[in-house]
Structure formats: structure tokens, C-alpha cells
Structure 1
């Protein structure tokens, strides 16, 4: 079944995200600091999902590129999502944020990317195919482009939100009260 194959591939992508790493990552979001989120393309959409959930939890959160995003300052957090770890807009944002004293959190699949080098903390979601192929066989049952990274990142971040809800004793009713109502 196709769904089972996808789930197996997602498990592979999340296998490096161990429990200690996950708990350390959560700590950044319990500090009640302003949080900024960036990513391009579909990774950017995952970032927006995450930003919305953080807002539902009561965090002061901003998505880079939106017109209401304030300047980043010392002590703020910037979450950068990039499978390649080399996306120029994401790397440039991380570089600038670091100059202003922000903490950089990276979610990437590339341990050698510029983003990992800039980050104060990195979550590795390794969905890259280790076998180098010149051309993907049409019969390969692998989702297109960055699908595995994006879905794995989304699953990881949604799990993080659930854990923060539990730690902070925030129920769905409290979150629903912060949900858009107009």
C-alpha cells in the first residue's frame, strides 16, 4: 500500500531526531522569547504551520516576509527550515539574525550546509537518498522533490507542539480561543 510506504519513509527521515535532541529543542520554546520563522517554498509553508501553532500556544511569533514582522533583536529566536541548508534567503536571514544576537535553530537534512554551521542548535531530518542515481526510475515509489523532508519536518514540529501543550498544561480549548475568529 502506498501510504504504508510513505510512513516507512517518514520513519527513516525522523530516525535521527532522538529523544534527547527533541527535549533540548523544546527548551528553546519554553523560554517565552519572541520567535521568528523562515523557510522557502514548501519548507516555508511548514514554517507557517508551526508559527500558527506557536501562536495558538500563546507565543509571540512572526513569519519572515510578512508585512507585520518586526526587527529581530538580541534574545529572539529564529527557526530556519531548509532541507538543503543552503537556501540563500534562509541562510542570509540566519546570518543577519545572528549579527543581531538572535538564537538560530535549524531544521535541515544537510549536515554540511551553511545553515547548520550558523545554527546554535540543529535538528537533522535526513531524508536524502544515499544512493546517487543519474536519473530516478519512473518505477521508484518515492515522493517527489522535498516531500519527505517537508512531511517529516511537519510531523516533528506538530509533535513538538503536542509536547509543549502537555508540559505547559495548555488544552485545546485555550488554543481554540486564540484561533482566528473573523
Structure 2
């Protein structure tokens, strides 16, 4: 398949995914993020990279953000939010982290393409369902001709960016100019 055949198929997949998303689910997620003072995030692989990009934008908004794997990450306390991205809903070490966070009193939000997975089912206080084909996923989602979890990972980055833009748009104290002032200035 050449470039001119491939990009329309990919764009069509994106359109199908975003048309299938439940806006109320996004709204609930946005409210949780807005109302949380300390937010911890975890994800692995390419979906972890999309989640790290989301963490960066949350920091640019002025949120206190911590990436679970960083050595400087403090302990989770009651009322803190852990956003765990698990495409297939069943990544063992992320499940373990969610168990520990739950024991510490944290609120767990699982972002997944497979909400029937055990972490979403057994531990999540909230699930954000992104209905895109994901590697080893088992739920009804938009299928993809792309390999493994490409569609989920790509749509995750776009969805997280949209969430940030909507949060900024809804908050009169926020602006993209203010966000840019918080951007790292030592690079």
C-alpha cells in the first residue's frame, strides 16, 4: 500500500474512533482531572509516551504532576489521582501499581481500549474508554489495518491533547500563553 492509499484509511479510522467515543465519559474524566490537586501518571510503551505528553501538558497548566517511574516521585496520599493507561487493560506491573495506589487512598482512573480488563474492572474508580484497536485487546472497538496498538496509541495522543485544549478553554484563569510560560526554559 502506498502513501496515497494509506493516509485516507488512517484518517477514516480516526474519524470512526472519535465518533464512537462517549462524550459524557470524556466530560467525567475532564472534571476529575480539573478537580484533582496532585496527579500521578503511568503507562508503558508507545501509549506511555502519549501519557507522558499528557503529563507534560498538565504541568504546563500548573497542575502538580508526578510520573510513577521517576525517582523523585512522592508517595500517593488519600485523594490523589492516578491516571493509568493500559491499552489492553491487563498489564501486570501497572495493575500492581494501581493496587498499591488504591491501598494508599488514591483514586484510580484507567484509560483503556479494553474496559473489561482486570485493572479497569477490579480497581478503577473511573474508566476512560477509547474505542480504538489495541494490542491484545478483547473489547468491541474500531478495528485497524495498522499493526498492534497503533490506532489506540495515536488516538490516545490526540484525545489527551483535546482534553487539555478543552480544559484550558473552560478555565478563564488558563491560556496557552500562560502554559508556555511554564514550559521548561533550560533546553
The residue that corresponds to 1:44 in the other structure is 48
Please say if 1:89 is aligned against 2:93: yes
Per the normalisation by structure 2, the TM-score is: 0.86
CA distance in 1, matches of 2:7, 2:34: 34
Name 2:133's counterpart in structure 1. Answer: 128
Q: How far apart are residue 171 of structure 1 and its match?
A: 1.4
SS of corresponding position for 2:105: coil
Q: Report if aligned partners of 1:13, 1:125 keep a CA contact under 8 Å in 2.
A: yes
Q: State the aligned residue count.
A: 171
TM-aligned CA deviation for residue 158 of structure 1: 0.7
What TM-score do you get using the length of structure 1 for normalisation?
0.88
Give the CA deviation at 1:11.
2.5
Structure 1: 5+ residue stretches without partners: 130-140
Deviation at 1:87, TM superposition (A): 0.6
Give yes or no for contact 1:17–1:123 (8 Å, CA) kept in 2.
Answer: no
2:150 is aligned, of 147, 152, 160, to 147
SS of the residue corresponding to residue 30 of structure 1 reads helix
Deviations 1:67-100 (A, max 9, x none): 1111111100000101111011211111111111
Residue 74 of structure 1 aligns to a residue in which SS? coil
Match of 1:116 in 2: 120
* Aligned residues of 1:16 and 1:124 also touching (Cα < 8 A): no
- Partner of 1:80, secondary structure, is strand
Q: Judging changes above 3 Å, is the alpha-carbon distance between structure 1 residues 3 and 54 closer, same or farther for their aligned structure 2 residues?
A: same
Report Cα offsets for 1:111-168 as digits up to 9, x if no partner: 2201211111111112238xxxxxxxxxxx8222111111111111111000110111
Cross-structure match for 2:175: 171
Q: Report the aligned-residue RMSD.
A: 1.5
Offset of residue 32 of structure 1: 4.0
Structure 1 window deviating more from structure 2 (35-44 vs 3-12): it is 3-12
Gaps of 5+ in 2: 135-143
